[in-house]
Chain A
């Protein structure tokens, strides 16, 4: 009887370890990338205004590694994604990335001494996971979760949840309202202006 249980356990363990989800834990992937971001921000060689562009360029490269920008855009547009032509989608992905960069890059560059702690990860299905972390800044603790999807054996982030507010959901609400009244092309015009703007 005992042997049988062990045999079953063994099979179960083997089955679990064979699951693709174990190709790399999402937490490890996200943590590794966040640590890379922090090391760029804290790099003593990159100080002052002059090094700002270098930092930005490195962060941009890292963004492409860490995030799945198409997934992020598609989830943001949700059903409206279907209204966009392939070329409009391509432009949307590009513009949306620039909007995000423009809005957050200075905030991110201002982060240096913040402490980041990674907590648990939660599996949200075969290839979806949510990784919880906390950032300590000015005596406050800010919970930040990364939602990641696994494709081609790599975990990539498609949504960031800061203090329970999902970035994707927040933009989706905005785009939904805009696209209820205007066409995809009109939204792209708005985004182009936003990217170019002051």
Chain B
């Protein structure tokens, strides 16, 4: 493994170094300018959260109490597009994306956290005048009895100091989707039946096994690493090189472990910082951007020489993924009052739960 890595290092193409250097600069600059305060808040929150969940008795309300203390709490979230808009915002690297982009799989259902933190916020609203169901005339007195509602409902937010840039990139990605990705994905979908495209997705996901495996280890979760190893062997052999995800079938029941580096950093107490909407890559944060870069480096498909082959593979993955999700982004956009804010919030919620799910298991 280490030998492989060393040889891989030598192969780092210059474009990749530039990408990393550029992103690192942007991250540092942004972090100095706007990040610290927000990041700190988040970090505190997550630390408390993890402490709570580690104490064997993860009280369902632990999130709530933390929330009440810290007025503004942001969420941990790496460069992962939200399931719905994933077509629009899927990460650059196919396999890295596969590790994170797709919707939470069945397996995780069993481990889903009991209560989303965001829930507590919404509760605040209803609590005061809960019994006044259907009563639009709830009196002011009653509402004043609910002063806690204010801060608590802010529970899941993220700082957005780059909003003008982010909104511009939202428009760019929106056009990229409607003008390029979607028409291409439509033609592609006509050429290949859905079953084949799902098989192709499975192959990408299977090859990205090292990303999930390493993150399982970095998260000190040995059972996760074992499941991933088992999946890789089973799907590579019985699943014909990963074409079929037989390990997820009920008989074997080894579901994919959705682990990524941004999540790992979040679990270890690093907050997301602030919101960044990258062109092409989509919703992210400084932490998740670093995470994405790390995941790309762990993804075998990113090391296929020459560099344009790796880029082509990434584009192919994105095309395949888009073809399987046509309509999701459209629905989200149509449903939203402010699509940019809707996507940002979906990203925040999504990443928060990715991290919370793992912490709740421990």
Contacts and interface: CB of A to CB of B under 8 A. Distances in A.
A55 interface: no
For the residues of B in contact with A, the DSSP-based class is helix
B198 A70 contact: no
A59 to B, nearest CB: 16
Given A78-B125, A169-B156, A134 B106 contact: yes
Contacts of B221: none
Given A78-B122, A122-B115, A142 B335 contact: no
A126 B105 CA distance: 30
Interface string A98-111: 01101110010000
A138 B196 CA distance: 11
Interface string A65-103: 000101100111111011000110110010000011011
Interface residues of A, number: 62
A174 B350 contact: no
A16 to B, nearest CB: 19
A74 B143 CA distance: 12
Contact of B143 (A82, A127, A142, A143): A82
Contacts of B153: 78-79, 172, 176
Contact of A138 (B114, B143, B324, B336): B324
Interface string B131-151: 001101100100100100110
B170 to A, nearest CB: 14
Nearest to A83: B143
Interface stretch (B178-186, B235-243, B283-291, B338-346): B338-346
A142 B331 contact: no
Nearest to A127: B130
For the residues of A in contact with B, the DSSP-based class is helix
A99 B336 CA distance: 9
A190 interface: yes
A95 B136 CA distance: 15
A163 B114 contact: no
25 contacts: A74-B125, A78-B124, A78-B153, A81-B125, A122-B114, A124-B115, A124-B119, A130-B114, A132-B109, A132-B112, A139-B195, A140-B102, A140-B324, A142-B83, A143-B108, A143-B109, A147-B119, A151-B133, A163-B84, A164-B104, A164-B349, A165-B349, A166-B116, A166-B119, A178-B338
Interface of A: 68, 70-71, 74-79, 81-82, 86-87, 89-90, 93, 99-100, 102-104, 107, 119, 122, 124, 127-128, 130, 132, 134, 138-143, 147, 149, 151-152, 158-159, 161-166, 168-178, 190-191, 194
